[in-house]
Amino acid sequence: MTNPETPRHVEIKDEGDQTVAEAEVTTGSGPEGTVRTSMHAKDAYVRPGYRASLVDAVMDLPEVQASDRVEAAIPYGDGESLERLRERTEDAQARAAGATTLFDANVPSGSGSASDQAVGEPPADDQQPGEA
């Protein structure tokens, strides 16, 4: 598990190895805390599936899986990320805050990885979640 004081950077890259979506993830101290994340695409338009892949990469992090709650900030109007967050969490609430949507939800205990769930993602060779 990472140091809770050090945010983790997650990126999704396209087939040309260009970053198309990224997130910063910060965990509360100790397990069963709250994970906070800020997610966004690098451009207003990215191919469908990349934003959902970013959500999956964040939700599949061990420290997220070990937490009880997730709080996410995503750009207002990012329906793909919002829908995928709702699919991967429980008791979700979302509210607008200016140009941002704030999302709060419970992390399901024993939840499976994204590969266990139906997803409309780009082909596997286009998904390259990584950490910088």
Quick one: 58 exposed, middle or buried, by C-beta within 10 A (0-12, 13-18, 19+)?
Answer: buried
**Domain count along the chain:** 1
Q: pLDDT at position 16, please? A: 92
Q: In the chain, which stretches have pLDDT less than 50?
A: 1-2, 115-132
Euclidean distance between CA atoms 123 and 95, whole angstroms = 32
Identify the DSSP state of 112.
P
* Tens-digit pLDDT profile for residues 12-39: 999 999 999 999 999 876 556 899 999 9
Assess if residue 12 is contained within a domain.
yes
Domain limits at 108? 8-116
Query: What CATH number is given to the structural domain containing 51?
Result: 3.40.630.30
Assess if residue 132 is contained within a domain.
no
pTM: 0.79
Three-point CA angle 59, 37, 40, nearest 5°? 95
Assess if residue 2 is contained within a domain.
no
Q: pLDDT at position 116, please? A: 46
